[in-house]
Amino acid sequence: MPSKGKVYLIGAGPGDIGLMTVKGLRCLKKAQAVVYDFHLNAQILNYIDHDAEFIYAGKRGGHHAMTQDEINRAIVEKAKEGKIVCRLKGGDPFVFGRGGEEAEALVAEGIAFEVVPGVSSSIAAPAYAGIPLTHRNYSSSFAVITGNEDITKPESTIDWSKLSSGFDTLVFLMGIKNISAITSKLIEHGKNPQTPAAVVRWGTRPDQKTVVSTIKDIAELISEENIKPPAVMVIGDVVKLRETLNWYEKKPLFGHRILITREYSSDYEPLEDLGAEIFEFPTIKTVPPEDYAELDAAIAKIETYNWIIFTSANGFKYFIKRFVKSGRDIRDMKGVKICAIGSKTAELINSYALKVDLIPDEFNAEGLITAFSQQSTAVDSLKGMKFLLPRAETARKIFPQKARELGAEIDVPTAYRTVKPEKHGKRLIRFLKEGRISIATFTSAATFNNFTDMLGQDVVEFLKHSAIAVIGPVTAKAVEKSGLKVSIMPETATINAMVEKIIAWASQDKSAS
């Protein structure tokens, strides 16, 4: 019989993935089973080992995938199987998250658990709307109240008279459906009808929408604006500060949810810094070659090459790893010059104490030929030069062909290959259908072709709601072949350049609107 596992009750925060705690992420990375809710950023699931078991326990539009008793049983059963279980909940597990009930169920079964607090939407949503819950000039106290209790029932636990007069700021969670009754009760028990009120829907997300009124009129306004759950209501004089402190909704890329179809890297951070949300859905995964014979043969005669060309950071990483494993010494590369395609690749190579001798101005076959021709003293351009080009299994063959035509010798062993990962795209398809992906990015023809293979050809129609950004003309050709229009393409085929182009495009689009 397996020993009992352990359960982590983790708060995933209100939606902005940056508000997930470091400890929460650390626990997720070692999870063997994950029981997760609907109201959390799906990108958090990318931090989980994909061999883990995923159990969806959320609810949307009042529809429960699992009852609370079923959730309790699930986390108990998985722990009894000896697994590390993460119960992943939106916001904070102990702030109207029923985490206390789940913890009691674990205690009753003698199962070890820890609580990892999360940032509650009761605090985060107002903050992202520019509304501090306390302020020396406006509020010295606040209360957080559930808004989904039937306030007409005789045994209500809410003391409306004390609530109306006892706190400077009131925050109601899950109260949109009951908002008329809530505001009426407050006014009935002495709250000034002109007290400022705000409702923040999808707080901390690109979809965030904030409406401001008074408690007398807020119910009518949210009906006119068609504000639906999830939303947080804030009542009190602190709401007056929104006009001055509204920061998030003024960010240049606020409102943009940007799809990236490769693994996230720091190259995309400028988009997030400017207010965009990244939806990561990698359609390619880099893995070692099936056979190292060609690469090993090249490494064995490394000193015979004039140049090694690294066209990507992946090409270098897989090469150097195999180089070391083969028992070679970095000093064996003395006298061999190095060419790097792009500054990011060059930075990585330099970090290994290797000097990059050449970074071509143009990152294509023609640019490489021009750059090496300028390096050559031979009358016949590249005659007599010997190149090593460790690359992806399915890389383009234009440069090797042209180099040979100009008299060079070139070996092109496979250093790595790309495969199509196993991903579930249900939520992504829904976001595309609903027009909630404003920009979709593709960094190679493979990322686009795999995308349509993984999600089906119908996804091409859904992509028409989004602006398409590509890294270069080859990728653009693959996208346009499907009937889609490319709106964003940089002059230089790098992710950094594409990101800069997206920022410029979004700024123009915002000013035009």
Domain with CATH 3.30.950.10 in the chain: 123-250
Of 146-160, 250-264, 331-345, the one with minimum mean pLDDT is 146-160
Q: How many helices and strands (H and E) does the chain possess? A: 19, 23
Three-class secondary structure of residue 5 per DSSP:
coil
For 363, the token pair is 């990152």
Q: Tell me the average pLDDT of the chain.
A: 91
Q: Would you state the pLDDT for residue 418?
A: 87
Domain with CATH 3.40.1010.10 in the chain: 6-119
Q: Would you state the pLDDT for residue 60?
A: 59
Catalytic residue among 16, 37, 92, 411: 37
Residue 153 has pLDDT above 80, yes or no: no
Q: Would you state the pLDDT for residue 402?
A: 85
Residue 197 phi/psi, 5° resolution? Answer: -140, 145
**59 catalytically annotated:** yes
Mean of pLDDT values over 109-138 = 97
pLDDT band at residue 379 using 50, 70 and 90 as cut-offs? very low
Q: Would you state the pLDDT for residue 376?
A: 59
CB-based contact 335:317 (threshold 8 Å): no
Three-class secondary structure of residue 422 per DSSP:
coil
Q: Would you state the pLDDT for residue 494?
A: 86
pLDDT band at residue 63 using 50, 70 and 90 as cut-offs? low
Nearest CA to 209 out of 194, 225, 197, 223 is that of 225
**217 catalytically annotated:** no
Give percent above pLDDT 70 in the chain: 93
Residue 335 DSSP symbol: T
Catalytic residue among 59, 301, 321, 485: 59
Catalytic residue among 16, 20, 89, 174: 174
Q: What angle do CA 401, 406, 410 make, to 5 degrees?
A: 55
Of 109-118, 226-235, 356-365, 502-511, the one with minimum mean pLDDT is 356-365
Domain with CATH 3.40.50.10090 in the chain: 257-284+421-512, 287-418
For 494, the token pair is 């790098």
Mean of pLDDT values over 393-414 = 86
Of 54-63, 132-141, 235-244, 266-275, the one with minimum mean pLDDT is 54-63
Cβ partners under 8 Å of residue 387, min gap 6: 305, 306, 307, 308, 309, 403, 408, 409, 410, 411
Other beta carbons less than 10 A from residue 107's beta carbon: 11
Residue 61 has pLDDT above 60, yes or no: no
**216 catalytically annotated:** no
The H-or-E segment that residue 439 falls in is: strand 439-442
Residue 32 CA: distances (Å) to CA of 41, 77, 338: 20, 13, 43
The owner of tokens 């407050």 is 186
Residue 338 has pLDDT above 50, yes or no: yes
Radius of gyration (Cα) for the chain, nearest Å? 28
Mean of pLDDT values over 54-73 = 80
Residue 424 has pLDDT above 80, yes or no: no
Three-class secondary structure of residue 124 per DSSP:
helix
Q: Would you state the pLDDT for residue 398?
A: 79
User: What is the CATH number assigned to the segment(s) 123-250?
Assistant: 3.30.950.10
Q: Would you state the pLDDT for residue 389?
A: 94
Q: Does domain 6-119 have CATH number 3.30.300.20?
A: no
Distance between CA 218 and CA 198 in Å, rounded?
Answer: 7
Give percent above pLDDT 90 in the chain: 74
Amino acid identity for residue 357 in this structure:
D
Which CATH architecture fits 287-418? 3-Layer(aba) Sandwich (3.40)
Read off the pLDDT of residues 191-217 as tens digits, 9 standing for 90 and up: 999 999 999 999 999 999 999 999 999
CB-based contact 432:459 (threshold 8 Å): yes
Topology of domain 257-284+421-512, per CATH? Rossmann fold (3.40.50)
Torsion angle of C-alpha atoms 456, 460, 465, 467, degrees rounded to 10 = 120
Distance between CA 125 and CA 208 in Å, rounded?
Answer: 9
Residue 66 has pLDDT above 80, yes or no: yes
More confident residue, 422 or 226: 226
Mean of pLDDT values over 131-148 = 96
pLDDT band at residue 513 using 50, 70 and 90 as cut-offs? low
Read off the pLDDT of residues 155-192 as tens digits, 9 standing for 90 and up: 778 899 999 999 999 999 999 999 999 999 999 999 99
Mean of pLDDT values over 238-265 = 96
Q: What are the residues facing 87 on neighbouring strands? A: 9, 35
Distance between CA 144 and CA 122 in Å, rounded?
Answer: 7
